[in-house]
Amino acid sequence: MSRHARASEKVVIALGGNALVPPEGQGDVREQLRSIRGSAQQIAKIISEGAQVVLTHGNGPQVGHLLLQQEEARRWAPPQPLDVCVAMTQGQIGYLLQQALQSALRERGLSPPVVTVVTQVLVDPRDPAFEEPTKPIGPFYSEEEAEELRRTKGYALKRVGNGERPYRRVVASPRPLGIVEEDGIRELVEAGCVVIACGGGGVPVMRTDGCLRGVEAVVDKDLASERLATALRADTLLILTDVERVALRYDTPEQVDLERLTAEEARRYLEAGEFPPGSMGPKVEAAVRFVENGGKRAVIASLTQAVQALEGRAGTTIVR
């Protein structure tokens, strides 16, 4: 596709974990900057070709570390609840992304405002996910520590590993209904800003008697990105991860990579169990929902092939 044809295409780009921390890394800020600068180059290229870009991103390792810091420092500073920690990581990662993206854009002679929006995502108090928390977060605990946390804080804990500290806190991962800040984000996009939003899937909130309050849960970042992309009437939802394509019989000798499929086909494979819940499942589901809700196409691709993916030369494209 030529530079011209893509001009003013509105694209929501969801950045996966490897866009923010190298897979082998410990998550210190120098490593984070290394990954983030690489991602920023790709995104700056896409913006320089004329696309209107909104970025979303995960926060797994960052919020894990922050929760660990809350626990370990509790004698000196009161631990902050999970919703506040998610908001903190939005600021942390947003700051690093803003800086890297501003520099990468500048190298290309561009200087649009780049802004991060602390984003709340509405969830339903009656979401069945609250009955059975499944998403492990934060540090690992011994049996005694787990018991203590269950008693004193009412945490749900699950045995997820072996060894001396096999327990982790698990929280619900409810479905995102809508983005509280969508009107503000839309105005920023219309005004020419590059917006970073929905970090870590957004801070889950519930509305009771007209008031919002934070919930100790996590929202999947791909599903939240679909809500945002749909609300903004984006043309394209681009989900960047660490594999080149969505595959059938993934990681078996019969693996088949998919280049293009309809929402209907994708849904069929999803229901047949081709895409597991914690990883590829929510990406394909987000893609399907986006095109069913009026989006032109969703593309799931490798971070390193972001530019080609938008041109339809890489990744898996899902259309209506």
Residues annotated as part of the active site:
17-18, 135, 221, 283
Scanning 44-52, 136-144, 189-197, 244-252 for contacts with ligand ADP by CB under 6 A, the matching segment is: 244-252
Q: Please, what is the minimum distance in Å from the beta carbon of residue 247 to ligand ADP?
A: 4
Q: Please, what is the minimum distance in Å from the beta carbon of residue 97 to ligand ADP?
A: 15
Q: Which does 263 bind (CB under 5 to 8 A by kind): ligand ADP, Mg ion, none?
A: none
* Contact between 64 and Mg ion per CB under 5 A: no
Q: Please, what is the minimum distance in Å from the beta carbon of residue 245 to ligand ADP?
A: 7
Candidates 12, 17, 170, 215; binder of Mg ion (CB under 5 A) is 17
* Contact between 220 and ligand ADP per CB under 6 A: no
Of 224 and 247, nearer to ligand ADP (C-beta) is 247
- Binding residues for ligand ADP, rule CB under 6 A, total 14
* Contact between 243 and ligand ADP per CB under 6 A: yes
105: buried, middle or exposed (CB in 10 Å: 19+, 13-18, 0-12)? buried
Handedness of CA 118, 222, 66, 81 (dihedral sign): positive
Give the integer Cα–Cα distance in Å for 151 and 166: 18
Q: Which does 315 bind (CB under 5 to 8 A by kind): ligand ADP, Mg ion, none?
A: none
The structure tokens listed for 123 are 């969830």
Candidates 250, 265, 270, 304; binder of ligand ADP (CB under 6 A) is 250
**Would you say 318 and 312 are in contact if contact means Cβ atoms under 8 Å apart?**
no
**Would you say 223 and 284 are in contact if contact means Cβ atoms under 8 Å apart?**
no
* Contact between 42 and ligand ADP per CB under 6 A: no
Of 36 and 194, nearer to Mg ion (C-beta) is 36
Q: Please, what is the minimum distance in Å from the beta carbon of residue 5 to ligand ADP?
A: 28
Give the integer Cα–Cα distance in Å for 285 and 223: 7
Of 168 and 221, nearer to ligand ADP (C-beta) is 221
In the window 44-103, what residues touch ligand ADP (CB under 6 A)? 58
Scanning 15-23, 64-72, 166-174, 254-262 for contacts with Mg ion by CB under 5 A, the matching segment is: 15-23
Scanning 81-89, 139-147, 179-187, 235-243 for contacts with ligand ADP by CB under 6 A, the matching segment is: 235-243
Candidates 217, 223, 234, 280; binder of ligand ADP (CB under 6 A) is 280
Q: Please, what is the minimum distance in Å from the beta carbon of residue 236 to ligand ADP?
A: 17
Give the integer Cα–Cα distance in Å for 59 and 89: 7
Of 17 and 201, nearer to Mg ion (C-beta) is 17
Of 20 and 189, nearer to Mg ion (C-beta) is 20
Q: Which residues bind ligand ADP (CB under 6 A)?
A: 16-17, 58, 241-243, 246-247, 250, 274-276, 279-280
Q: Which residues bind Mg ion (CB under 5 A)?
A: 17
